[in-house]
Chains A and B, each alone.
Chain A
């Protein structure tokens, strides 16, 4: 028979995973294929077997749920429950997963203790041989249990600090707290070694380490979380490290180097404004140059076009740079943007819109556009004209500066 018919047959036999695992990349699997085939195949035979009936029933349930017809869904569900008796071992192995879901659900509804009990049960669940994936799942469950331990620890900590207790009671409470810390830290430490996104776990773990004065350990955890190549590039990891170092009063160069990496990953992050200030304050000239690039990169993004802080920083910084005789920095930053920033930021439409909605923003942008595009720029012209009409004071100084210092005219000189 022909090759692609063979493929079809392969598709129909859904659970035929063993066979399919021979080649590393299987063909595209189209779930609606069986529908096409059923519409043809049902001519010959009428009866359907049990498995088919249940799958049809499941489809009905799903459809009813999607249409929010709960009554109808429950009726089908009663029929479907029969299949539970037929449940196979693979499904039983999924029990821990369901427990985890249930625990999260309980947690979500504020039933922390029930959730804890549930996770304990899930952890001890054994059915057949434990696969590698189940092992990881158990780790996740343990991590969540660790998180709940951390909650208790945190609660105890507030109790200890707030209540005026005698020495013995405090000591007991502290010991109790410490045992929770140990329980939590074991589990949390385990999970954050595995590549993944563990924001909650890392934060909790670091908080506890900090509390017990293990600054080096905390720093190590955060550094690993941020810089381990096996982990996804998670901006939060860099933020946590930065905030930790900042709290630790680390030298500015250190802070800058952390944020420099974040700037490369997420140039639009709001912490970049802080980064700009850091760079501005720095003594090194290369940092000053980077400070401009950081601002321009923030304004490249569509979500930041109306960020008034960024625009006023830029206006101020441009002034400073030009006065500091570093016009070439501006030209350098502008060269890669000159073909699209005029339409993106400085169009006539936007001038009208900005002026109407946010006058300060319009003024900041007009100044920048004047510096970058010269006095003939539509945006600059519109805003200065409108500003002139209402006798805005800053317009005059702005015009003067732009006439003298815009990078277009200076190029010609």
Chain B
């Protein structure tokens, strides 16, 4: 192999990153991007002045796109998608006192505060259970038996009627005072410490993941070329849990858009697909998939379904997988334990490196990455601090370093390796197969494994999201520079042009180019009303989780198809082609292009300005009707997808309501609960208690001719409020006037709830000819009202008198159910529901927002059958059906398991998937406004 016989001059000064003494770091931002554009002066024949080369654009042309943004390639999946957690959800949103020094604070205290108030049951429940033995909450027998029991009847009575939420002037009885003094420390601090700690930890993890989601490093979109030159397959995950691996056959055309051939075949996995790697070597097309605790390898045949070769289960989370470019079926796998293994179905696993510590300096991240080198037995192992060689022939933990986050590469402070990739492939690339790409959050480095620690090229990519995807493509023409694509998680795409001849150092041949991301396609879609628009925007802004560029053969001009996969499971594509430069004559001398390159660098504005005027702007591309129609079709399907339920709904049943039941009813409730759980269905109202035929209590009454309020107050004063109420209910019929008033109140509250649910957009007029059959927000309302209603019935008979007033006041404030909407048709389909927990106190109604994920991961066999009965044609590879053996073995950590014989991969029968919301019958549209 040729080694460049004349390297570019550079200092080599070891030291920590950001060392101010290193001139290279001083030069860093400008040095690399610009200087690399230049060739070192030729010393061989200095009598000849170095010739300036024709610029990339004049020589090869410009990469242009047909459309201003990527177009949808496949219709959106049947599963709704919501963008999960965003930074706005976590950060403190109040007024900043010092605007000059803006602070970002994760508002743990506020979040905890809300949690304690809104979900006191959960927060204090376990503690209450512990203390329950020593407190009497109204049961008479208990207090007589045990002297250690404290009667809280009077305490609860004191608490009635008001909630002193932090009010210092609230009246405290002696009893309350004593209780808070004695119990305050236990109740307050313990909860705060335990829960607060956990919450903080959780928020921290979520926040870190939000800033850097390393799970999707490498990308989950793969392209496998087919036997015929214009055919191939896209491999990518879909589904809310990213657990469905799809193999979509695609037909490429030299002139037209790529075509998806039929529905994808798919495999349902038992974990989310994080990374998909594809490679065709020695005529064998392989697909490797990384999930959190599993890695699997498939072989793609020209005909027939993918053949599973082997599955690996690991105890610690897998962080990277790569397929060998040299030997078919050989893989490198690494996990969070710091272990790196060479894995092949024939020879099994061979651990070649294990070190829980990071290489260069201590970094808390346990992320590891492994890839191959030009030598089939030598791997590179990466962590956040650097890259190191690991030799499979002589495993040791101290191989030579290939890259180090330090002064040698003039790294900045806080710089870390985010992606490492071996660029050499056996394809006829005019590239010496020794190049490695390293991406940090600031820069891109190219390294030659024969010259460790000295980057041959450094470019400041300036991406505002972690660059986790990269792909090197073959040159459009022989001798032309190679396009290198770099993708950020936030959808940012860059295309670089690497000129790499054998025996030459790699250089940037042209100014890097930014390519449109999904959100740039927004103008191609019709304008929707706010809800729909928001949904569309969120969808297009979904993180970029996969990138696959394909070069269709036999095109008249060099073409590149760029497929992008978003976290929402959408596959978009864009067609780029190299247009010969026509404006080069008008652009002036070729050197202007280099001057343009200067403009990349903020320090050299003067030279940039001088040249800018002479350069013609590339003609803008507009949205063509065909592209718009494509977007429209996609949008239409998207709008038919049932919207997601909010990620969390407050529990509507609580221990309170159950605790106050009388003994005889308690037994009935427990029976009902058990029955519901055994059947795996939702707890219904009828299971708990018969519905007493009573109207809901009225709310506040204005003073009128019949001053009922005064009467009630009088009766209450004499502690005869309940008697008064009973009398009222039995004795008199409500006047019509009140009925209408109540009706109005209900309307008001229902419209309130429909406004609250922002994710529901279906109630707004849709531009589609047929309005989507999505459930109206009323459904959720009725869930709430159902439980309310239940409690309303119960309080009359079972709740101790001293609690009734509180409840009455409480209920009066809440929206009461519309009697016409009180039935519960949304739970007609019991199989799509399952109770998430067997604890009677915690049986919340909407047990899971993601029934599919839940059933898949649930250990209950019933839920499997419940899910698969809905979809008999698509049987899971990993179902517990005795006929189909599990592919993912339950054997202990890091065991390789040979594949099952009867793996079942079938065509997806239809895009429809049963879901909680989808199974509900169409309901009346909610009323808007007043």
Contacts and interface: CB of A to CB of B under 8 A. Distances in A.
Contact of B210 (A36, A81, A107, A230): A36
A347 interface: yes
Given A44-B96, A109-B591, A235-B450, A200 B434 contact: no
Given A105-B598, A195-B12, A266 B450 contact: yes
A39 B102 CA distance: 12
Given A154-B47, A304-B1, 18 more contacts: A17-B18, A26-B18, A36-B211, A39-B87, A44-B96, A45-B95, A67-B513, A68-B617, A94-B26, A104-B38, A143-B9, A197-B9, A199-B6, A203-B43, A301-B1, A302-B325, A302-B376, A303-B1
B283 A349 contact: yes
A158 B605 contact: no
Contacts of B604: 98, 101-102
Interface stretch (B29-37, B170-178, B790-798, B841-849): B29-37
B830 interface: no
B52 interface: yes
Contacts of A196: 9-13
A171 interface: no
Interface in B5-55: 5-13, 16, 18, 20-23, 25-27, 30-31, 34-35, 38-41, 43, 46-47, 49-52
A8 B91 CA distance: 11
A37 B50 contact: no
17 contacts: A5-B106, A25-B362, A29-B415, A32-B211, A32-B490, A33-B211, A41-B96, A41-B104, A44-B94, A61-B602, A70-B616, A200-B43, A232-B12, A268-B434, A300-B375, A302-B374, A302-B424
Given A195-B13, A350-B282, A340 B452 contact: no
Contacts of B106: 2, 4-5, 8
Nearest to B612: A74
A343 interface: yes
Contact of B609 (A30, A74, A302): A74
Interface residues of B, number: 125
Q: Which of A39, A233, A301 has the most CB of B within 10 A?
A: A301
Interface string A345-364: 00101100000000000000
Contacts of B594: 105, 108-109
A303 B361 contact: no
A230 to B, nearest CB: 8
Interface string B736-779: 00000000000000000000000000000000000000000000
Q: From DSSP, what is the main secondary structure of chain A's interface residues? A: helix
B617 A25 contact: no
Interface in B618-632: 618
Contacts of B91: 36-37, 40-41
Given A231-B12, A303-B432, A339-B347, A63 B200 contact: no
Given A2-B108, A49-B100, A266-B450, A131 B347 contact: no
Q: Which of B46, B414, B462, B466 has the most CB of A within 10 A?
A: B46
A227 to B, nearest CB: 15
Interface of A: 1-2, 4-5, 8-9, 12-13, 17, 20, 24-33, 35-37, 39-41, 43-45, 49, 58, 61-63, 65-74, 77, 80-81, 84, 91, 94, 97-98, 101-102, 104-105, 107-110, 112, 131-134, 136-137, 140, 143, 147, 150-151, 154-155, 158, 191, 194-201, 203-204, 207, 230-236, 239, 265-266, 268-270, 300-305, 336, 339-340, 343-344, 347, 349-350
A151 B45 CA distance: 9
B900 interface: no
Contacts of A304: 1
Q: Which of A30, A43, A107 has the most CB of B within 10 A?
A: A30
B538 to A, nearest CB: 14
B514 A66 contact: yes
Interface in B596-616: 596, 598-600, 602-605, 607-609, 612-613, 615-616
B105 A5 contact: yes
B511 A25 contact: no
B21 A132 contact: yes
B62 interface: yes
Contact of A140 (B9, B47, B598, B605): B9
A102 B34 CA distance: 10
B413 A17 contact: yes
A107 B617 CA distance: 28
Across the A-B interface, the 7 shortest Cβ-Cβ residue pairs:
A29-B414, A66-B514, A36-B87, A74-B612, A136-B23, A110-B49, A349-B282
Given A36-B211, A147-B41, A234-B7, A12 B21 contact: no
B88 interface: yes
A111 B282 CA distance: 51
B889 to A, nearest CB: 26
Given A1-B105, A340-B327, A344-B376, A98 B603 contact: yes
A240 B506 CA distance: 21
A344 to B, nearest CB: 6
B464 interface: yes
A102 B536 CA distance: 47
Contact of A105 (B20, B38, B613): B38
Given A65-B600, A94-B603, A134-B23, A107 B451 contact: no
Nearest to A336: B393
A347 B283 CA distance: 11
B326 A98 contact: no
Given A66-B513, A133-B22, A343-B327, A197 B104 contact: no
A350 B283 CA distance: 10
Contacts of B99: 45
B211 A70 contact: no
Given A65-B599, A147-B41, A197-B8, A232 B100 contact: no
B23 A140 contact: yes
Nearest to A48: B99
A274 to B, nearest CB: 14
Q: From DSSP, what is the main secondary structure of chain B's interface residues? A: loop
Given A45-B96, A105-B598, A199 B513 contact: no
Q: Which of B2, B25, B617 has the most CB of A within 10 A?
A: B617
Contacts of A110: 49-52
A69 to B, nearest CB: 6
Given A9-B104, A25-B361, A133-B20, A108 B50 contact: yes
A29 B289 CA distance: 30
A231 B11 CA distance: 9
A234 B452 CA distance: 8
B499 interface: no
A25 B16 contact: yes
Contacts of A30: 211-212, 441, 466
A333 to B, nearest CB: 13
Contact of A37 (B3, B102, B591, B600): B102
A265 B511 contact: no
Contacts of A268: 1, 374-375, 434, 450
Q: Which of A29, A49, A350 has the most CB of B within 10 A?
A: A29
A273 B612 CA distance: 51
B412 interface: yes
A151 B426 CA distance: 41
A156 B490 CA distance: 57
Nearest to A339: B347
Contacts of A194: 11
B465 interface: yes
B328 A236 contact: no
Nearest to A307: B1
Contacts of B608: 73-74, 77
Contacts of B377: 300, 340
Contact of A108 (B52, B327, B464): B52
Contacts of A236: 3-7
A112 B1 contact: no
Nearest to A51: B100
A301 B374 contact: yes
Contacts of B450: 235, 265-266, 268-269
